[in-house]
Structure 1
Amino acid sequence: MITVDDLLATAKDKTGLTDYGDEWFTEPLTVLVRALNDEARLSELGLTLTRRRLTALLADRLRLRQLHKDHPEVRDEQVTVAAEICGLPRTGSTLLHRLLAASRHVTSTLSWETSYPLPFPGEGPDAAERKKRAQDRAALFLRMSPEFGDIHTIEWDGPEEDVILLDRTFTSMSFDSFYWVPSYGTWLRAADQGPAYRELREWLQVLQWQDPAREGLPWVLKSPHHLTAVPTVLAEFPGCKIVMTHRSPAAAVPSYASMVTTMTGQYSDEADPVAIGRYWSDRFATTLRQFTETRREQQDRFVDVRFADVVADPVAAAERVTAELGLPADRAAFTAYVARDREQRHGKHTYTAADFGLTEEGLARDFAFYEEVTS
């Protein structure tokens, strides 16, 4: 059993800090904890890991508030977000993100710093301890789910989704991806995510403040989570464009269901692939309907990229996107990344829609509205 009060108290004991600032986050945390207790069917190991994870996220909230007190200049950092790459998971968004992030003309969140965004006491500017922990964490993750590397390349020091920073707001798609918590997912789709995105800006300020090399560089970020909050993203980051990657949901949905089943299996011995498949099919259909309505109102802030184009000629796709963002291209960096990516890929991700209680015909029917818009 997990309780919010115990988590809050444990994080205070761990850090020696007491000021959480605005405690708006206790609402999403309470919804999440209730779902974890009632729905997630956590294993003994899963329960231990989850308590540890939630405590660490709360500890970071306390440390962020202390950092603001010790270094008020952090809040003066000017954050410019050029793009949030969205799209359903498994639509080429990761490849496109890592391609664009390879450019010397932009910056992006790195895996190790999304896990450990704040300096440890006494740590030097090289962040050696945080990087070591991130390496160890990635290795542990792959030991727990060795097949995951065939689905998604893990780079502890490479570009990673900024949604991991949002985890600290407890308003994040990460949670219903790693756990079976459908009631939390339902709550999330209806929630006001404004406070969470204001805090995302704060976390970007922290990362920018720590690394002077980022000064003046626009951020290129990525996560399917942002599809749940497109109006909020556009309002919080006025210069930002949404880069939408497109792939047939008949391929994307079963692929993500496979990934989620693998991740959920780390925390529960009762992961149900059929329930997972149906949940994500329904969720993505709802999300895409809301997305298509939003983009009609601000067409000039969207850039569309097809999965087939990214796979066929990733360098050309990256150059087109940077042009539409008004940024300089970096063909040499794009080409070098493609070569490295091909060397890293190994294994094959195999699955069928039927593995997750889905059919290609049913997916085609449920997502016909989306296929019409993007065809």
Structure 2
Amino acid sequence: MATVASDLEQYQPTEEGSLGAARFLDKMLGTLWDKGLTWRPTLDPKDLKHHAMRAEDRAPKEGCWEDRLDILTQALDEEAKLSPLGRAIAHGQLVRKIRCRIRAEAQWARNPAIRDRKVVAPLIIVGQMRSGTTRLHRLLARDPHFVHTRAYETMIPMPGGGRIDKRPVTATANLLFLRTLNPLLAAVHPTGPYQAEEEFGLHAMSIFGAQYEGQWMVPSFARHCETCDRTGVYEEFKAVLQTLGAVRHEPEDKPWVLKAPQFTQDLEVLHEVFPDARYLFLHRDPVSVVGSSASLAWQQARVQSCSADRDAIGAEWLHKTKLRQDRQRAFRQAHPHVPALDIRFDHVNEDWRREIGRVYDFIGRTLDPDVEAAMADFLANSKAHKRHDYDIRDFGLDPQDVASAF
């Protein structure tokens, strides 16, 4: 739990955990590159697009995503302080996202009716990182009334060719690899290939948002994503949801339950694209949110950088959290009649059945006893995971200063 004391004299950094596998790979890759024994991955946008085009045998369409790719790759070179392993991971991720774009464009060209599928009254969970959105999302995902994205779909939104969908196997391998590189990630954000997962990977196809900002220090890219026109991003986001629904043969009138902290800073455009959406707004004290968010970003960044800066990460997530809160307040003031329910993190801790009951009253449904039992099983299993320990002072932040900023 984040400390609420302002006395820094007693402060001791929390345990970082071992990164032996990551540092071994850094050394090995650096040696191979220096000796010319293997190819050094490029972050040049033209080369990334070329690799994706060669793998998919077609080119992606031009668009604003290319401007964001230019900004992101420059930030990776100049700001992220990538290690050799980090550079290899960044190259692979960006090529995969461009390949997903190519697959999506091909799918829409073959079957334009996909873009006409309805996305009816989605239930959208809105909250800061580390505010309990994942818990609520996974509870509601136990109800077959809702459609939700699974982790393998978030990691690889578009299936490739062939009769067998290889995405679950690929996602499983990727998750095992990440846990090997930093075992603490499983405590910070436990997941599995079929687990309900937020839609950050759908945004990443547009070279946008939290998947990139959460694992690399790329502040120039983050500032661009905060201020650019995001309409096209969310139109593509909706199109990918329509495609996933079609691939899975989901009924069009079956509502999605969606969750991504990114939504908190993009509510105006989200509302434009999904005008009949219903919102669940989650709240947690900002000191805990900032400290836990910085800890997650730190655990991601230190895998891919040998010189990740804790204080810089703390300052970045203080900025992001404040920006998102301000935008959420502005949205709700501008749209007081949008259907919305407020839920507090500590209230869910106290009595999750009561809070889930409030959700079902809000959406006008009766909670099925079998669904409630499945929710209880999920929470019981979740308690077996290692607790996420952190201290906000690890990131150069005083708890009282953070509290006063909000």
CA distance in 1, matches of 2:239, 2:184: 35
**Amino acid of the structure 2 residue aligned with 1:303:** L
1:228-257 CA-to-partner distances (Å, cap 9, x unmatched) read 100011110011123211010011110111
In structure 1, the partner of 2:38 is none
CA distance in 2, matches of 1:337, 1:155: 17
Q: How far 1:343 moved relative to its partner?
A: 2.0
CA distance in 1, matches of 2:313, 2:376: 32
In structure 1, the partner of 2:357 is 319
Aligned residues: 363
Does residue 183 of structure 2 align to residue 183 of structure 1? no
| 1:352 equivalent among 375, 391, 406 | 391
User: SS of the counterpart of 1:169?
Assistant: coil
Contact between 1:319 and 1:331, CA under 8 Å: does it hold in 2?
no
| 1:95 equivalent among 135, 152, 174 | 135
Does residue 342 of structure 2 align to residue 304 of structure 1? yes
In structure 1, the partner of 2:405 is 366
CA distance in 2, matches of 1:316, 1:15: 49
CA distance in 1, matches of 2:271, 2:368: 26
5+ long unaligned stretches in structure 2: 1-41
CA distance in 1, matches of 2:78, 2:365: 48
**Amino acid of the structure 1 residue aligned with 2:386:** G
**Amino acid of the structure 2 residue aligned with 1:6:** D
User: SS of the counterpart of 1:300?
Assistant: coil
Does residue 278 of structure 2 align to residue 241 of structure 1? yes
**Amino acid of the structure 1 residue aligned with 2:45:** V
User: SS of the counterpart of 2:122?
Assistant: strand
In structure 2, the partner of 1:209 is 246
In structure 2, the partner of 1:59 is 99
User: SS of the counterpart of 2:303?
Assistant: coil
Q: How far 1:328 moved relative to its partner?
A: 4.3
In structure 2, the partner of 1:285 is 322
Q: How far 1:33 moved relative to its partner?
A: 1.0
Q: How far 1:280 moved relative to its partner?
A: 0.6
TM-score where L is the length of structure 1: 0.93
| 1:17 equivalent among 44, 54, 58 | 58
Does residue 150 of structure 2 align to residue 110 of structure 1? yes
CA distance in 2, matches of 1:260, 1:81: 32
TM-score where L is the length of structure 2: 0.86
Q: Which moved more, 1:342-351 or 1:163-172?
A: 342-351
CA distance in 2, matches of 1:113, 1:346: 23
Cα distance change of structure 1 residues 8 and 98 upon mapping to structure 2, 3 Å threshold = same
User: SS of the counterpart of 2:280?
Assistant: strand
Contact between 1:234 and 1:241, CA under 8 Å: does it hold in 2?
no
CA distance in 2, matches of 1:173, 1:351: 21
**Amino acid of the structure 1 residue aligned with 2:402:** L
**Amino acid of the structure 2 residue aligned with 1:204:** L
Cα distance change of structure 1 residues 60 and 158 upon mapping to structure 2, 3 Å threshold = same
In structure 1, the partner of 2:22 is none
1:205-230 CA-to-partner distances (Å, cap 9, x unmatched) read 11110112444210010011011100
Cα distance change of structure 1 residues 178 and 243 upon mapping to structure 2, 3 Å threshold = same
Q: How far 1:258 moved relative to its partner?
A: 0.6
Does residue 374 of structure 2 align to residue 333 of structure 1? no
| 2:72 equivalent among 32, 39, 43 | 32
Contact between 2:82 and 2:304, CA under 8 Å: does it hold in 1?
yes
User: SS of the counterpart of 1:103?
Assistant: coil
CA distance in 1, matches of 2:88, 2:119: 36
In structure 1, the partner of 2:237 is 200
Q: How far 1:321 moved relative to its partner?
A: 1.5
Cα distance change of structure 1 residues 81 and 110 upon mapping to structure 2, 3 Å threshold = farther
Q: Which moved more, 1:232-241 or 1:74-83?
A: 74-83
The structure carrying a bigger helix percent of its residues is: 1
CA distance in 2, matches of 1:163, 1:351: 24
In structure 2, the partner of 1:262 is 299
In structure 1, the partner of 2:313 is 276
Contact between 1:85 and 1:97, CA under 8 Å: does it hold in 2?
yes
**Amino acid of the structure 1 residue aligned with 2:216:** Y
**Amino acid of the structure 2 residue aligned with 1:286:** L
User: SS of the counterpart of 1:324?
Assistant: helix
